[in-house]
Amino acid sequence: MVKTRTLLEVLLALAVVAALSGCSARGRLVSVHPESLQLSGGATGTALSIAADSSALYAVYADRATAGLDMITLPIGPHLPATAPAPELIDKVDTAAPLSPAFGEHVMASGGGRIAVLYLDRKADPHGVLKLASRATGAAQWDLDVLEPAGDPLALLPDGSGGFGAAWTSGLLYYRSQGGRMPAPDPPIPLQLEGRPGPDGQDGFTAYDRLASVLLWLGWNGTGFSAVPVPDGGTVSASLRSPSGRLAVASYSPRERRLLLHQQSPGAAAFSSQTVTVCDGTTGVALLPGPSDSSFVFVYDEARTISAGRTAYQLSVIAPGSALGALGSRYRKAVLAQGDLRIDGFAAARTADALYVLLSQGSLRILRIPLA
């Protein structure tokens, strides 16, 4: 029997979601049936990454059994393959027991015929060695660079020519362009990361600074970074820059039990904010482009009370209904996965016709959801 509180939460969530498109709330959840492919049966680190180019999908994760940072490459097609290819070791990243709480932390990007992974390696130094591994897609060998000082990886920003600028923090924000030097921006920007950063796919990223207790969007302008506070932003965030230049930031507020969307138009100084949905226990969010320049796909995890003493952990998506196979352009919600095990982490990417989610919940698997 469905608890009244749970039903009311569902109705409220649908009503709030509908406000994004200015339509009245009606209808039910959209039913989707993702394809699923198990990649690993063992425990992974909480940091997961996924990216796609025109022909392949790249999934990066840290394997706790081998203390290695691995990558699996999958072909892009109308369906997932029947079996998963063997993982490829990028590097051993931690061999000292117990594993670091930040085991496997990394950021990954692809573009211009290249892929790159920025990660912290603790196997030889407890403080870590910051490394940048990059290569052409299809190549066998990684080009490896060491970046100093070591710190938390923040973002890999494409430079338009197949290279990536690397951003990280070691108390101050640092940036190194492809093949360039490693200066700190001038003036220096103090930054101590809390949570995971959210690269916007172009020239910036969001990061929560625990020094100032504020969510910042940090954008590279060619010579330095602009630091813009995001109002009411939390430690769980994701950002996206649209082709027209509109900046969108999704952020979870545990106090308000809300997933929020903040938007800043080109040339505007202030953000506009609105509620996406009501949710509890959200530890991660992905913000992806929708069918139009002004629409979005939100992927997030949540914890739902099923009965006294029992909690279900589920991965959900909110998108325009037409993208999920329903009628109309108003936003609808679908459940992608659920179970009694906590969601350790996830990452999402989309192609022209599908949403891909790398999910760690007991085991590591990839989901494929067709998008209309």
pLDDT at position 184: 60
Q: Token pair of 247, please?
A: 């900046």
d(CA 183, CA 161): 21
pLDDT at position 186: 66
pLDDT at position 127: 76
Q: Token pair of 148, please?
A: 């100093």
pLDDT at position 103: 85
pLDDT at position 16: 46
d(CA 150, CA 186): 19
In residues, how long is the chain? Answer: 372
Report the side by side order of strands in the sheet with 204-209: 193-199, 204-209, 214-220, 225-230
Is 232 in contact with 206 (CB distance < 8 Å)? no
pLDDT at position 182: 57
pTM for the full predicted model: 0.90
372 residues of the chain, pLDDT tens digit each: 333 334 445 444 544 444 454 433 334 789 999 999 999 888 788 899 999 988 899 999 999 888 899 999 999 999 999 999 999 999 999 877 777 777 889 999 998 889 999 999 987 676 789 999 999 988 889 999 999 899 999 999 988 777 899 999 999 999 998 767 655 666 788 999 999 999 988 889 999 999 999 999 998 887 788 899 999 899 999 999 988 889 999 999 999 999 999 999 887 778 999 999 999 999 999 999 999 888 999 999 999 888 777 899 999 999 999 999 898 889 999 999 999 999 999 999 999 999 999 999 999 999 999 998
pLDDT at position 285: 97
Report the 10 Å Cβ neighbour count for 85: 11
* Residue 122, amino acid: R
The yes or no reply on domain 1-30+236-372 and CATH 2.120.10.10 is: yes
